[in-house]
Amino acid sequence: MAISLNEFDYLRELVLTHSAIAIESGKEYLAESRLAQLAYVEGQTSVNALLTNMRGKPFGTLHRKVLDAMTNNETWFFRDLHPFEMIKRKVLPELIVSRGTLRRLNIWSAASSSGQEAYSLAMMIEDEFPELRSWTVRILGTDISSAILNRARGGRYTQMEVNRGLPAPLLTRHFRREGLEWVIKDSIRSRVSFEAINLSNPWQAMATMDIIMLRNVLIYFEVPMKKQILARARNVLHPDGYLFLGSAESMMGLDDGFERVEYGKASCYRLRR
C-alpha cells in the first residue's frame, strides 16, 4: 500500500521536529525506499502501516529507528580530499605556530556519521605531524544518531568503506583485518571521542574549537535553522579558528560573521575581524 498523504505529513513533521531535516513534499518515494526494510523487520505489511502504527504513540525506540533510517549517513575517508590538503598544508601549520605556547588543539567533526572524517584527521595528524604527539589534541565526533555513533566508536569498516578514499598505505598502517572487516587500531581510535549532539537543539557547553568540520549536514536544514547553527558555530569557534562546510555548501546569505579563505582547490571560513 502506498504512503497516504496523512502518513507522509506525519513523517515529515516527525523528522523536522526531532532532526530539523526538511523533507520536501512529493518525496514519498524516499520514505518508501528508506523505511521498507524497517517496516518488514517490525512485522508491518507496508511503510504506510508502520507510520499509522506509530502515530499517536509517545516518542520511543521505533520513532528513533525511523529517524535514523530517514537520515543520509553517507561519508567516506578523506572526503573531497582538497579540504584535507588545506588542513595539512595551511591550517595545522598555522595553528602549530599560534598555539605553540598552549600546545592544545580542539577539532570537531560535527555530524560525523560513522567516523571516517574524524579518523581521517587523526591519521593525518599521526602521520604528518609528529611534533603534535606531545600536545593535547582532542578530536570530537558528534552526530544526532546514537546508532551511527556506536558504529563510529567501534571503528569497524567494510571492504567497500575502506576502498572509498583511504590510501592503501594508511589502510595497512592504521587498520587490522578481522574477518571481512577492517578495524581501526587503538593508536588512532584513542585520539577520537564520539558524543551525541543534535545540532538543531541548543548546544551544551563545549571547548572552544580550533577546527570545525560542519560538512554535508546544513543542506538538510531550512534557512532559519542553518542560520541558527552557524551563529552557534561562531560562538564555539576560536577567534582564529577554521570552519569547513561541504564542497556543495556555501555561507552565502547565511552569516556575515564569517569570511571565506581559499587555499588551492579548497576553501574554509574564518571569523570576520
Ligand X SMILES: C[S@@+](CC[C@H](N)C(=O)[O-])C[C@H]1O[C@@H](n2cnc3c(N)ncnc32)[C@H](O)[C@@H]1O
User: Given the rule CB under 6 A, which residues bind ligand X?
Assistant: 19-21, 71-75, 79, 111, 113, 117, 143-145, 148, 198-200, 215-217, 220, 246
Minimum Å gap between C-beta 73 and ligand X is 4
Nearest distance from residue 136's CB to ligand X, in Å? 24
DSSP secondary structure, the chain, as one string: -PPPHHHHHHHHHHHHHHH---PPTT-HHHHHHHHHHHHHHTT-SSHHHHHHHHTTSPS-HHHHHHHHHHS-----TTTTSHHHHHIIIIIHHHHHHHTTTT-EEEEEEET-TTSHHHHHHHHHHHHH-GGGGGSEEEEEEEES-HHHHHHHHHTEEEHHHHHTT--HHHHHHHEEEETTEEEE-HHHHTTEEEEE--TTSPPPP-PPEEEEEE-SSGGGS-HHHHHHHHHHHHHHEEEEEEEEE-TT---TTT-TTEEEEEETTEEEEEE--
Smaller CB distance to ligand X: residue 64 or 99?
64
* Residue 48 or 119 with smaller CB distance to ligand X: 119
**Cβ-based nearer residue to ligand X, 48 or 218:** 218
- Of residues 21 and 125, the one with the C-beta less far from ligand X: 21
Cβ-proximal residue to ligand X, closest one: 75
Identify which of residues 102 and 205 has a Cβ nearer to ligand X in the complex. Answer: 205
Instruction: Report the nearest approach of ligand X to the CB of residue 103 (Å).
Output: 27
* Distance of closest approach, residue 68 Cβ to ligand X, in angstroms: 8
* Residue 100 Cβ vs ligand X, minimum distance, rounded to whole Å: 29
